[in-house]
Amino acid sequence: MSGACDIIDKSTYQVISRRKFEALDGTALKCLFDRKYLFQNQKKFQKEVALIDEVLASKKVVPNFLIIPTYRCNLSCGYCFEAAYKITENMSSNIEWIEQCLNSIDEIVTQSKKDFDFNDKDVYITLMGGEPLLAQNYEQVSEIMNQITNHGYSFNVITNGTDLDVYLDELIRFECQSIQITLDGSKEIHDNRRIYKNGNGSYEKIFQNIELALSRNLKIYLRVNLDKDNLVDLPNLAKELLDYFGENDNLVPYVYPMQDGGCLGDGGIIDEIVCIEEIQLLNEKHPQMALFDKKFHASSFMDTVFQNQQFEMKFRNCSATNNQYIFDYKGNIYKCWFGIGNANFKIGTYGKALSLNRQQDALWKNRNIKTLTKCQSCKYRYICGGGCLSHVMTSADDAKKERCIDFYQIIKAQLKGRLAK
């Protein structure tokens, strides 16, 4: 509930674990009450929970947006979840949609400002695809960056990095805040996974472009999609990154266990707890593994405990269940990027006018730990936020159903690794 963490001696632990609180001395008992590990009765506990829920429910979130300039990609990654929708056409040469898109974003921003005020620069727009930085789309994508800047918003880019060099001047000119690039392992591993349409690997070109971007002082988040095939290769990738780039504050590598195998199916997906344990073994053997930030469920909660960071309680699971909108070049609007191109995830259209399906928008926004029955009594509710709605919808379950993660085992596994350091 609070992110608080305290170290206790063994005798105190034994008393607490047996729930013999009356056996504690006054100082220890007062600490438990003050730190809100313990409440006088259920009514006071429920009052505290209701207060937290009220604060979280009233918290306003600045809207964020994604723009999909194309579904086409110059790579052919086997695990691509978008490829399952079989949308591969490129945007047309007509750039009228760009102005219509930004005007619709303006409309949503203006509507949001009726609830609370915020600075337009706090509105982030992410360019994503497909591959948003295809060299062949240079003029249109440059115009998107230009329009975003003219409308007063900030932006970042998610790209495979292969054509990044073509856009470096524009990214700097329009003050791109950050770039996310995927690198799935050392050269041999990556070049077997993230390949061009002709079968050639993309590793060397991506490395060269990262070096160019860093030389221009651009911030790079380097994502490694983990599955059973590349997990053990992480130390090799860490060594190559350190040998090539050294320690650079503008390069932030992180690992992310894949939860969807895309066209390859889920056969390669590694259980998250197994993934955590395997990475901990690699950490013990290979000091260079410290280079990677690790993105697991409850990682931010663990950072609260071990890095003294502010505990960010979750009322909702993610941006998709909050104030996020995704615009593609075809005039469609979605809530979740795992559903772009999928008609089941569509919540509206734009063009000469913005048209949002308020009922569909509300389906996402109303999903939180107060509206999901099972969440109301779950001890992990503020860490989880109700689970991923896109996974629920994809499996054709009731959209009001929770998606539960084994937080007990996941936290336990991470705890072992953090205490071992």
- Report the chain (421 residues): mean pLDDT per 10 consecutive residues: 85 94 92 93 94 94 96 88 61 86 98 96 96 95 97 98 98 98 95 94 96 98 95 97 94 90 63 95 96 93 87 93 95 93 91 95 93 92 92 73 92 89 68
DSSP single-letter state for residue 137: G
Contact 121, 152 (CB under 8 A): yes
SS3 119: coil
Task: Give me 303's structure tokens.
Answer: 């950072």
Contact 121, 154 (CB under 8 A): yes
The pLDDT value recorded for residue 261 is: 47
Task: Give me 398's structure tokens.
Answer: 């009731």
Task: Give me 298's structure tokens.
Answer: 């409850």
The pLDDT value recorded for residue 381 is: 94
CA atoms in the 13 A half-sphere facing the CB of 93: 0
* CA angle in degrees (0–180, nearest 5) for 79-83-84: 95
- Domains recognised in the chain with CATH numbers: 63-361 (3.20.20.70)
Alpha helices in 113-183 (DSSP H): 138-150, 164-173
The pLDDT value recorded for residue 201 is: 95
CA distances to 98, 333, 348 from 330, in Å:
10, 9, 12
SS3 72: coil
Query: Cα-Cα-Cα-Cα dihedral of 397, 400, 405, 407, to 10°?
Result: -170
List the helix and strand counts (H, then E) for the chain: 15, 11
The DSSP element (H or E) to which 129 belongs, if any, is: none
The pLDDT value recorded for residue 263 is: 46
C-alpha 321/C-alpha 368 separation (Å) is: 8
Contact 4, 36 (CB under 8 A): yes
Alpha helices in 296-420 (DSSP H): 299-306, 358-365, 381-384, 389-394, 407-420
The closest of 260, 279, 269 to 339, measured between CA atoms, is 260
Q: Roughly how many angstroms between the first and final C-alpha of the chain, as a whole number?
A: 26
Around Cβ 337, how many Cβ atoms within 10 Å?
A: 20
Longest CA–CA span in the chain (Å) reads 76
C-alpha 321/C-alpha 361 separation (Å) is: 9
DSSP single-letter state for residue 95: -
Burial class (CB in 10 A: 0-12, 13-18, 19+), 289: buried
